[in-house]
């Protein structure tokens, strides 16, 4: 009777397991850039919302009479933080009537719109986040 020694792996088993491991590493490595791009996109979007919200809160805390009907463009927000240089912010304030139509004179209602834009470096497009609020003169 022949005794078979089963103490180790054969060379074929080792090669197959290395091939499977190599394929798994290549697959996981190829998905890493997509995860990084998604993280950058979400981070920029979150920062844009915070920048729009900060401006909106500034305007919401101002008295109604100090909200000047105008359009203000900030080309770069690096004066807030150097990391925000890719962002620009536009603030529009308009008079509204009771039907929420833009009018030329004050009827006791103003529309405040804050638009934060940034260039997505990966897709080479401009993306925007907009916040809108209404203020009434009570």
pLDDT of residue 6: 66
pLDDT of residue 41: 85
In a domain, 129, yes or no: yes
CA 123 to chain centre: 13
Q: Are strands 102-103 and 87-96 parallel, antiparallel or unpaired?
A: antiparallel
pLDDT of residue 97: 93
In a domain, 23, yes or no: yes
Instruction: Specify whether the CB–CB gap between 51 and 89 falls below 8 A.
Output: yes
In a domain, 6, yes or no: no
What is the share, in percent, of the chain residues with pLDDT greater than 90? 57
In a domain, 1, yes or no: no
pLDDT of residue 7: 72
In a domain, 2, yes or no: no
How many domains are contained in the chain?
Answer: 1
Q: 102 in helix, strand or coil?
A: strand
For residue range 5-20, what is the model confidence (pLDDT) as tens digits? 667 778 888 899 999 9
38: containing domain: 11-136
For residue range 72-111, what is the model confidence (pLDDT) as tens digits? 999 988 888 888 889 999 999 999 999 999 999 999 999 9
**Measured distance CA(116)–CA(89) in Å, rounded:** 4
What pTM value is reported for the model? 0.75
């Amino acid at each position: 009777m022949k005794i078979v020694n089963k103490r180790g792996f054969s060379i074929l088993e080792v090669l197959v397991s290395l091939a499977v491991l190599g394929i798994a590493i290549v697959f996981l490595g190829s998905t890493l850039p997509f995860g990084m791009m998604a993280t950058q996109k979400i981070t920029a979007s979150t920062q844009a919302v915070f920048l729009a919200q900060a401006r909106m809160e500034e305007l919401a805390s101002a008295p109604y009479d100090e909200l000047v009907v105008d359009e203000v463009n900030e080309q770069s927000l690096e004066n807030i933080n150097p990391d925000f240089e890719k962002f620009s912010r536009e603030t529009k304030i308009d008079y509204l009537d009771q039907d929420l139509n833009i009018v030329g004179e004050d009827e006791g209602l103003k529309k405040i719109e804050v638009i934060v834009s940034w260039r997505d470096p990966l897709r080479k497009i401009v993306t925007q986040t907009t916040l809108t609020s209404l203020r009434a003169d009570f």
